[in-house]
Amino acid sequence: MPTAPMKGRILIAEDEASLRNLIEMGLAANQYEVIATANGREALDIFMADQDNIDVVILDIMMPVLDGFSALEEIRRVSGVPVVMLTALGTSDDVVKGFQMGADDYVVKPFTFREVIARLDAIRRRTQWVKQPASQPHQYRSGGVVLDIENHQVLVNNEDCHVTPIEFNLLRYFMTHPGQVIGKKELFREVWGYEFEGSTNLIEVGVRRLREKVETDPSQPELILTVRGVGYKFQPIPALEAG
């Protein structure tokens, strides 16, 4: 019987040995290749040495030697690789802080392994969605902002703008749905890749970070408008042009 193809290479940093081993075994059973480390420093050293061959990084926040936030900060200096944070139950501030620093997703402890797989599978779908040949235009323009889907690049006033994978997908969804009011649940489903129930300000944080990168004045946005009580709307300037 042929062996199922590997889904991707995952780097994990988790100091609790039993949890680290559980995640490692579970991912391996789901066709992920795993590199498991006990702290952020070990994970960062491995990533810097072989970053082109790592598809996703999972970082616990509270770790010895180098914590997850510090490791995330260093990774974001050199790479837009998807990063999933592990955070303790009730620490919503940690979730928001990680997202502000460029994390793509999070899993709250205690969690079921099914949650971890759901997050990773959602990341794979997002990545494949970006890479696959599109029947729609490869470029979208609005004002000084250019979204180049084929090259996975954002330009602002002809200068390269560094965005995380989530920020790229968020901008892509906005620019491919001009003038439409988009609710938060829709953004979670279509950008993050799963249904979300409950309350969170992750969407607000993500939109704020994106505005800081693509708006002339983030405090008075012209592109990504807030529709109070509903969600957001992308307003093209002067009109959406596809290249």
| Backbone dihedral region for residue 65 (phi beyond 0: left; psi -120 to 50: alpha; all else: beta) | left
| Local confidence band at 200 (pLDDT 50, 70, 90 cut-offs) | low
CATH number of 139-242: 1.10.10.10
* Distance in angstroms (rounded) separating the CA atoms of residues 39 and 119: 21
What does the domain layout of the chain look like in residue ranges?
Answer: 8-131, 139-242
212 or 151, higher pLDDT? 212
Residue 240 has pLDDT above 60, yes or no: no
Closest C-alpha to 27, from 66, 72, 58? 58
Most confident among 107-111, 112-116, 206-210 (mean pLDDT):
206-210
CATH architecture of 8-131: 3-Layer(aba) Sandwich (3.40)
pLDDT, greater one: 63 or 90: 63
Name the percent of the chain lying above pLDDT 70: 86
pLDDT digits (tens, 9 = 90+) for 25-56: 989 988 899 999 999 999 999 999 999 999 99
SS3 string of 75-93? HHHHCCCCEEEEEECCCHH
Confidence of residue 137 (pLDDT cuts 50, 70, 90): low
Q: What per-residue confidence (pLDDT) applies to 241? A: 46
The token pair that represents 175 in the structure block: 């620019």
30: exposed, middle or buried (Cβ count in 10 Å: 0-12, 13-18, 19+)? middle
Query: Cβ–Cβ contacts within 10 Å for residue 236, how many?
Result: 18
* Bridging pattern class, strands 105-109 and 83-88: parallel
In whole angstroms, give the CA distance from residue 127 to residue 8. 11
Residue 67 pLDDT > 90: yes
Q: Which DSSP category does 186 fall into?
A: H
Residue 3 has pLDDT above 70, yes or no: no
Distances (CA, A) of 153 to 145, 146, 203: 11, 8, 22
Is pLDDT above 70 for 133? Answer: no
- The model's confidence at residue 127, banded by pLDDT at 50, 70 and 90, is low
